[in-house]
A and B are shown apart, each in its own frame.
Chain A
Amino acid sequence: MKLFKLTAATLALATTLSLGALTGIDPTGFTSASQAQAAMSPQSDLRLTLNQLLSEHATLAASATGAALGGRTKEFEAAAAALDGNSQDLAAAIGSVYGAGAGEAFLPLWRKHIGFFVDYTLATAKKSKKGKEKAVNDLLGYAVDFGAFLNSASPALPKEAVAELVKMHILSLKDVVDAQAKKDQKLAYTKIREAARHMQMIADPLADTIIAQFPDKFPMTK
């Protein structure tokens, strides 16, 4: 009963705070117009969008690999379709910043690394060491390409630094797949959280760089 009361109180507080953030009204009684404006600014919109899309990418990828390894075909197909929808949203976001052509160039490049992850998952399911090594090498090669793409879009983003962040993303998802293959669900979900959180390390610097590169497009306030 005590636990229920505590949970209810926490939920009420969370709801109040969430509504406060949405309406710009400080639940403590102070009006927070500047906070509301900042929360709705093009800069924060960009940051939130990139964080949300990239974090979603990691969790949907983990859903797809988990379903694939568990032999749940229909779930895998649904997860893969959702993952591709996320890829298209990311491409649209890239296109809205760098131009439609950049968005079109981004999509097949991004899908390529998802394909390599499918290869890694299939090789893991087949217990093929050779297949796993090939997929990892393809993924690491892809990291270099992706670093070059973002560097070309935003020269302030060093190619090597981006490639390193993408490598970390690859390794974090590889850990998820390995844990899923071992049916160690506790470890798998710990790794999924780590993989999703890591995406912020890509989303935040990307947002900062875009904001600095296109100050007119992303002003601090509307």
Chain B
Amino acid sequence: MKLFAHVIAVAMLLPGFVTPGFADEQKADIKLFQYMPAEITVKVGTTITWLNSDDIEHSVTSGTPEKPSKDFDSGYFVKAEKYSQTFSKAGTYEYFCKRHNSMKAKVVVTE
């Protein structure tokens, strides 16, 4: 038991480590071809879950339509489906929908 506690304590000190039980969670919506809210500010380690409420496929893809990045990409997901992404590094993450390039939003991750 003591060993287990040590492992958890050490693991929590490692950069980028997210303990599911302790991590914050944030919900977001995709409705009427908009990411809601359009800007989310969270602490490092937070998991954001987007729910697609439109009856069409959308994606949550990092970067911009002109310059996608490789940070995350949900792929297409349809109505009532969800996509979760955990942010383990501070920074500003822009994202967009691959099918509807005018849909853009961002996540600001702080220490």
Contacts and interface: CB of A to CB of B under 8 A. Distances in A.
Q: Chain B's interface: helix, strand, loop or mixed, by majority?
A: loop
Contacts of B38: 101
Interface string A57-97: 00000000000000000000000000000000000000000
A151 interface: yes
B100 A109 contact: yes
Nearest to A101: B34
B81 interface: no
A19 to B, nearest CB: 42
Given A105-B103, A109-B100, A109-B102, A98 B56 contact: no
Interface residues of A, number: 17
A149 B55 CA distance: 8
B54 interface: yes
Interface string B69-111: 0000000000000000000000000000001111100000000
Nearest to B57: A148
Contacts of A48: none
Contacts of A98: 32
B55 A109 contact: no
A37 interface: no
A148 B79 CA distance: 10
Q: Which 8 A-B pairs have the closest CB atoms?
A: A108-B102, A148-B56, A105-B33, A152-B54, A152-B32, A148-B55, A105-B34, A102-B32
Interface of B: 31-34, 36, 38, 53-56, 99-103
